Chains A and B, each alone.
Chain A
């Protein structure tokens, strides 16, 4: 009964408040890229790389915020800095992983920490940093603005366009990079492209759950879907639906008791994954 009450309370709040409608739309936009790119990240086993990209985003956000507040670059939004930092981090890690594999884990760790440290320094130099820092780290989907939504839609368009049009190429590179190269495919380019798409998706998801928790939302819905399907296409479709359900569900669950939405969304994603482990086994044994 309590659950029903909470849900109806949430639904009536959605009808009355634009910020909640925008939050739901942000969740939907993030879910589109999350399902598709998350599936690539899971099957290529690059979630650790995605984690480093996510944390390096703080550097870009901090710098953009610093330039906007202290130097009057009012047009520069933290999300612009996030996109730039994520792409730079993806490029650095990608090139190291292609050309100096023995140093890969060191570089991933370095990008992870140096990006965060850069962000912390710039946020400290910027007045009013406390609230900003918390919302960058743990997300604040209720603060999403219409401008954010447009930027998110643009990122979605790029990510989904590339990820779906180049489905075969990306699948081939994920499955067997050396063989793809032998077939004359520019495998290194597609690997870097995959990391770039991961970077943009990380930025999209960080608006929902923040950069610390982003790795869970990127990988858990896809990993959950992989417990039920053995083909990449259906995994992408189910992961997108799951991500949507999890972000909207988490938002609804957190609204009544006034809990942090990002954390509730991630806990929900973890719970769904745990349940899927058991259910997936049942489905495949039956």
Chain B
């Protein structure tokens, strides 16, 4: 059974079509990259999988059920996270919020929950940020904390919407390595408009610009990208040697 099963989905915002006839099946343990131009429907597709919106036509099933019923089995990194620099919350508290809903507890956080949050931060190599104010972290640090929030409840499916947007290239490579380390236990869907991060860790690439086409990672080349974006795109190919942390560019 496919973990995500999308069939014949149409979605329009106020009559403007965003997705048309989208079919997508994601298997357990896959690392799928969802790429495409801005406004192409990437975030809409993720929101459909989360059940935040429902399609006008077609069906979306996750773990064989309606998305709303299985939200707790998914971890999510939103594209636009709250970044009120004045909000009085520590990085650890932000991660702890990923445990909300698991147990009805009243009052303060439990010791076990704090430990789980610290472990999640540690997985993202961000344990040292625990006590820092969230709003005062750099873009890359904040992104790690929010990914830890998405991971802390042990999701089977991780949906990351533009995780590399606020991260420098080095940080982006580190992040991809960390995500690759979650395989195959966690199925990962990574949304990005930055093709530089489509690395060998990714098992398949779904290109989306209103409609969707699937490609194995190897066939992502200039002509395919030009076709997708409707214009020539300068492409820098990253070869990430995950074993040795190496990183090469080819133009």
Asked if B133 and A230 sit within 8 Å, CB to CB, the answer is: yes
CB < 8 Å: which of B94, B99, B109 contacts A175? Answer: B94
- Residues on B with beta carbons closer than 8 Å to the beta carbon of A174: 87
Q: Is A105 in the interface zone, CB < 8 Å from B?
A: no
Q: Which residue of A lies closest to B99 (CB)?
A: A183
- Residues on A with beta carbons closer than 8 Å to the beta carbon of B109: 168
Of the stretches B2-10, B78-86, B173-181, B227-235, the one at the interface is B78-86
CB < 8 Å: which of B86, B96, B100, B136 contacts A226? Answer: B86
Residues 172-200 of A at the B interface (beta carbon under 8 Å): 172, 174-176, 178-180, 182-185
Asked if A183 and B106 sit within 8 Å, CB to CB, the answer is: no
Question: How many of chain B's residues touch chain A, expressed as a range?
Answer: 20 to 34
CB < 8 Å: which of B88, B98, B99, B149 contacts A235? Answer: B88
Shortest CB–CB separation between residue B50 and chain A, in angstroms?
A: 6
| C-alpha spacing A182/B149, complex, angstroms | 12
Asked if A231 and B107 sit within 8 Å, CB to CB, the answer is: no
Q: Is B217 in the interface zone, CB < 8 Å from A?
A: no
Asked if B101 and A171 sit within 8 Å, CB to CB, the answer is: no
Contacts A179-B76, A231-B88 given; does A184 touch B101 at CB 8 Å: yes
Residues 228-273 of A at the B interface (beta carbon under 8 Å): 229-232, 235
CB < 8 Å: which of B74, B89, B98, B107 contacts A167? Answer: B107
Shortest CB–CB separation between residue A254 and chain B, in angstroms?
A: 32
Shortest CB–CB separation between residue B71 and chain A, in angstroms?
A: 5
Question: How many of chain A's residues touch chain B, expressed as a range?
Answer: 20 to 34
CB < 8 Å: which of A169, A175, A184 contacts B71? Answer: A184
Q: Is B105 in the interface zone, CB < 8 Å from A?
A: yes
- Residues on A with beta carbons closer than 8 Å to the beta carbon of B100: 168-169, 172, 180, 183-185
Q: Is A143 in the interface zone, CB < 8 Å from B?
A: no
Contacts A167-B108, A168-B100, A176-B82 given; does A182 touch B88 at CB 8 Å: no
Residues 124-167 of B at the A interface (beta carbon under 8 Å): 133, 136, 149, 153
- Residues on B with beta carbons closer than 8 Å to the beta carbon of A172: 97, 100
- Residues on A with beta carbons closer than 8 Å to the beta carbon of B52: 178, 182
Q: Is the interface of A mostly helix, strand, loop or mixed?
A: helix
- Residues on A with beta carbons closer than 8 Å to the beta carbon of B101: 183-185
Q: Is A43 in the interface zone, CB < 8 Å from B?
A: yes
Asked if A176 and B50 sit within 8 Å, CB to CB, the answer is: no
Residues 43-101 of B at the A interface (beta carbon under 8 Å): 50, 52, 71-72, 74, 76, 78, 81-82, 86-90, 93-94, 96-101
Most buried by B among A164, A166, A183, A235: A183
Asked if A168 and B89 sit within 8 Å, CB to CB, the answer is: no
Q: Which residue of B lies closest to A177 (CB)?
A: B82
- Residues on A with beta carbons closer than 8 Å to the beta carbon of B106: 165-166
- Residues on A with beta carbons closer than 8 Å to the beta carbon of B93: 171, 231
- Residues on B with beta carbons closer than 8 Å to the beta carbon of A171: 89, 93, 97
| C-alpha spacing A43/B85, complex, angstroms | 11
- Residues on A with beta carbons closer than 8 Å to the beta carbon of B72: 183-184
Asked if A229 and B107 sit within 8 Å, CB to CB, the answer is: no
| C-alpha spacing A130/B238, complex, angstroms | 77
| C-alpha spacing A229/B105, complex, angstroms | 26
CB < 8 Å: which of A165, A183, A230 contacts B97? Answer: A183
| C-alpha spacing A178/B98, complex, angstroms | 12
- Residues on B with beta carbons closer than 8 Å to the beta carbon of A229: 88
Asked if A183 and B98 sit within 8 Å, CB to CB, the answer is: yes
Shortest CB–CB separation between residue B43 and chain A, in angstroms?
A: 12
- Residues on A with beta carbons closer than 8 Å to the beta carbon of B96: 168
| C-alpha spacing A43/B135, complex, angstroms | 13
Asked if B108 and A175 sit within 8 Å, CB to CB, the answer is: no
Asked if B82 and A175 sit within 8 Å, CB to CB, the answer is: yes
Closest 7 CB pairs of A and B: A184-B101, A183-B101, A183-B100, A165-B106, A230-B133, A172-B97, A176-B82
10 sample A-B contacts, Cβ–Cβ < 8 Å, listed by A number:
A168-B105, A168-B109, A171-B93, A174-B87, A178-B78, A182-B76, A183-B97, A183-B101, A226-B86, A229-B88
Given A168-B108, A171-B93, A178-B78, 13 further pairs, Cβ under 8 A = A43-B86, A43-B88, A164-B107, A165-B106, A167-B108, A175-B97, A176-B97, A182-B71, A184-B101, A226-B86, A229-B88, A230-B90, A230-B133
